[in-house]
Chain A
Amino acid sequence: MGIEEKLPSGILLTSVEKLSNWARKSSFWGATFGLACCAIEMMAAGGPHYDLGRWGMEVFRASPRQADLMIVAGRVSQKMAPVVRQIYDQMPEPRSVISMGVCASSGGMFNNYAIVQGVDHIIPVDVYLPGCPPRPEMLIDAILKMREKVMIAPLGPNGRKMLDQRKADGKMPLVAAGAMPSSYRADPARRAQWEQAVREGREEQLRIENWMKAQNHLRDGGA
C-alpha cells in the first residue's frame, strides 16, 4: 500500500473504503468446513427454505483459495486443529471466521482432552455464535452481524490501528456493529426501541419485554 499509510487515518480513502467493504460484504463465499452436527444446520441455511443466496453466499467453495469466509461448524478436535489452521492460512486476505455453535466457540459441553476449548485458540474469530446447534436463523443473524462489522472495517494494512483510533475519537455508532439482533435492525420501529434501550443500558430487558408481549397466553396477566 502507498499513499494512505502516510496520510492521517481515513482522509483519502474513506469512500473507496466504503465501496470496497460493500463489495466485500455483498458476496461472501464460504469455505466448506462442516465438522459436526452444526454443519447440518449450515447446509439447511444454504437450502431454499432459508436461502443464504439472498445475501449472495449460497455457494460454499471446496477450495479455501476461493473462499473468504470460514464457518467453523462443529467441535474441533486436537487432531483437526492443524487442519483448521492450514485451511485458514490458505484463504486469501481479507478473510473472516464465524465460530458456529458452542463447541467451536468455547468447547461447549465437551470440556475434555480431545476437544480444542474454543477455535480462537487457533485462528482469530470475528463472530461467536452460540447454540447447540444454532438454528439456521441464528447463523443468518451471525452472518448479518459479521457483514456489519465488515462495513466498518478500515482499509489498508493499519486497519486495526485505525479502528482503535476511531473508537478513541468516539466516531463509532451508538450501537456497536454486531450488537443488535438482526430482527431488530431490520425493523425501523424495533430498531429505534433498541437504540433507546442501549442509551438506558437495558437492551436485554427490552428483549424479554418484547418476547413477553408476543406471548398470547401471557397477555392480560395470563388470565
Chain B
Amino acid sequence: MGVMDPFKGFGVTFSHMFRKVITTDYPFKPPVSAPRYHGRHILNRHPDGLEKCIGCELCAWACPADAIFVEGGDNTDEERFSPGERYAKNYQINYARCIFCGLCIEACPTRSLTMSNEYELARDNRQDLIFTKEQLLAPLLEGMSKPPHAMFLGETEKDYYLGALENPGTSAGAERAPLSDVDVLGSPA
C-alpha cells in the first residue's frame, strides 16, 4: 500500500468524467434501428392501390404464437380488392401475442406482409394491441386509388407479379416511399 494508491484509484474514476457520454437520447433522438429490425407489420399495396394480400392464410399457419387471424373473401369483377380470386376480408394481428420472429413474412407468397422498424407499441389495454386491417395497410401513395376498383395495371395476375419483378420500383407500400425530398423530421434530405 503506497501513499499514492488512493489517488491512483480515484484518478481512474475521475478520468471517466472526460469520456464521451454513451447514453442514447432515446425519446428525443430515437436511434436508427438496423435496417432489417423486426418491427410492426405492413400490408403492402400494388402500384394501383389494390391490396397484395390474397387471403391465403399462410402467415397465420406459419405463426408460432397464433397471433394472426385471416378471413378470406372472394373478389368479384364489381368489387375487387386484390388481383386474383381472393382477398383478405378480415385481417388482424394481435401484438399481445406476436413475438416478431418474421416467420409470417417468410411465408407470404406475394410479399404482401412485410415488417417495418416501428417498435413503440405499448398501449394501456389489450384491445388496442389487436391491429386490424385498416391499421396494418400501407397508406395510399400518389397514383393509388382506394380499393375496391378494377385492375389498372393489366388483366392478369402476371401483369401484376411479373411486372413488379422487372421494375421493382413501381411496387408499392413497404417497397416504395412517397416521392419526397423532405425527410421525416422536416429538414431537407
Contacts and interface: CB of A to CB of B under 8 A. Distances in A.
Interface stretch (A1-9, A10-18, A22-30, A175-183): A175-183
Contact of B121 (A120, A126, A130, A189): A130
B30 interface: yes
A54 interface: yes
A109 B176 CA distance: 32
Interface residues of B, number: 61
A222 interface: yes
A34 interface: no
Given A142-B122, A221-B179, A109 B129 contact: no
Interface in A188-223: 189-190, 202, 204-215, 217-223
Contacts, number: 176
B27 to A, nearest CB: 4
B96 to A, nearest CB: 4
B154 interface: no
A204 B26 contact: no
B129 A219 contact: no
Q: Which of A187, A208, A213, A220 has the most CB of B within 10 A?
A: A208
Contact of B27 (A178, A182, A189): A182
Nearest to B126: A128
Interface of B: 22-24, 26-28, 30-32, 35, 39-40, 42, 64-66, 94-101, 116-126, 128-129, 131, 134-139, 168-171, 174-180, 182-186, 189
